[in-house]
Amino acid sequence: MLRSKIFNMSKIKYFFILLTQRVFIAILAVDETTLCRIVTDLQLKGLSLNKIREHLKLIYGLDLTKHKIKMIQNIAGNKAKAMNRKLDCEIRTKVNTTETDEVFQGRNYSILGAAEKFSQYLLDLKYAPDRTAASITKFLKPISKKFCNIKVVISDLYKAYKTVIPEIFHHAQHLGCHVHAYRESMRHIKKIKVTCEREKKKRDGISKVLEKLRGKITKLVSQKADWERKLAKDRIERQKLKLFKRNSKSGRTKTMDQKLIALEKRIKRRVESLKDTIKTLKKARKTRDEKSKELSCIVKSLKKLKNIYLQSCRLGKEFYHLLKDHSINFKSNLQKFMIRLEKSPYVYASQLHKMIKNNPQIFSLQNKNDLASNYQNSNTIERIFGIFRPLLDLSKLFQTVEGTTQLCELFRLYYNTTPRYTGIHNDQSPFEQLGGNLNNRNYLDLLFPLKKRTTLFFAHEISMKTTLGFHIRRYPHRGAIICR
């Protein structure tokens, strides 16, 4: 009987020990769902695989293998793909205007993307092995089937888009991006500008060489005059010595001979130096004449290039104003501009004429005055690519097709469900702006919902006043018991 009581007491004691241990583990440890949320969030914040491991080890004391992190990322990518389908089904009828473009990651590696213009909802983001019409068709066909009310599709001036978009989006209007059109028109002008700068550098370099040659020639002329003066002086002295020897007595002949020999050697040296100076001076003058001719040719070509550059810039400015022209006389202005381009002798004019003729979709909405001036561009999708590109560069783990696809799905869910930081709709995500309802959930709640309740202890409310006079409430606590 005594032994059974002791055994029961030991069981109760062991139960309390286990209970306290479980409480401390619940306070300090990280469960699997929270771990998945942490890894996914760190990945979308741009941390590489090794940095994620280091962060988990330093902050949470968890030493995870690369295989485990990859497995979590694969699970998150698959869940994001399913969740994106659900979100797309909710707003499939509310998408009207679409922008599409691509971002390159190496030679044979590109990401195709499409976004709704006004809400900036990312419709799709996929890996493509190339930029051919087949890859673009494969990317845009599911979008046309999923979002049935698309009326306007805006793209750049790539040839494949002009053939693919009218075939896929039968009831939509294809517009060319004005920003890409202006960039295309400015490419030749930039080449002319680069050529002008190169010619300027040549001109400046030859001018510096000429200045040095002129200084060298001045020194050589003064050196030549000095040698001639010294040589004339020595020759006069030699004549005097010869005359003095002829009139002198026999006892001084040896001394005169030694002086004459030394003087002859000195004259010979100075004659050779004078010849070298004259030779160097001729060479320097010849080089100066050649460089002067070259400089005059460069100055003439630079003047011609400057004129071409200025005239090309004027044509580019007129084209830029023509893109923004919504007046009644637009057609006549366009016709006059095309005639002027045909008659112009500049290469830029012929290239601009060809570009306008091959891309009539850049002037599709010129007769509609109720649209904004910046309507016909693809700035929305390019802005999204600006956010996505650094993440793609840092994520070296996703060099495979599967990894890139999972990263695209994760980023798409993250972007569509995250509220903006600034602007009119800074409290709404793109999905909510289109009329969707997230019920105060973020993308981590959609991927890995928390099924646990957190109870605070050692907590008390403190009312604090900020420097601006606002009252805020704060709950400092030392720990939390996480219960099922």
pLDDT of amino acid 18: 45
CA-wise closest residue to 185 among 306, 313, 361: 313
What is the CATH number assigned to the segment(s) 32-177+377-450?
A: 3.30.420.10
- Residue 286's pLDDT band (boundaries 50, 70, 90)? very high
In this predicted structure, the answer to whether residue 2 has a pLDDT above a threshold of 70 is: no
More confident residue, 367 or 290: 290
Neighbours of 408 (CB within 10 A): 25
67-125: pLDDT as tens digits: 888 889 889 999 999 999 999 999 999 999 999 998 876 656 788 999 999 899 999 99
Q: What is the mean pLDDT of residues 338-342?
A: 92
Same fold: 32-177+377-450 with 185-320: no
For the record, the structure tokens of 76 come out as: 């998150």
Residue whose token pair is 């306008």: 356
389-401: pLDDT as tens digits: 888 776 654 567 7
CA 40 vs CA 49, 63, 403: distances in Å: 11, 16, 14
CA distance 61 to 53: 10
In this predicted structure, the answer to whether residue 243 has a pLDDT above a threshold of 90 is: no
Give the start-to-end residue ranges of the domains of the chain.
32-177+377-450, 185-320, 452-484
The phi and psi torsions of 440 (rounded to 5 degrees) equal: 60, 30
pLDDT of amino acid 460: 47
Class of domain 185-320: mainly alpha
CA distance 333 to 328: 10
In this predicted structure, the answer to whether residue 165 has a pLDDT above a threshold of 60 is: yes
In this predicted structure, the answer to whether residue 421 has a pLDDT above a threshold of 90 is: no
30-65: pLDDT as tens digits: 678 888 899 999 988 888 888 888 988 888 888 888
Q: What is the mean pLDDT of residues 326-334?
A: 85
CA distance 161 to 153: 10
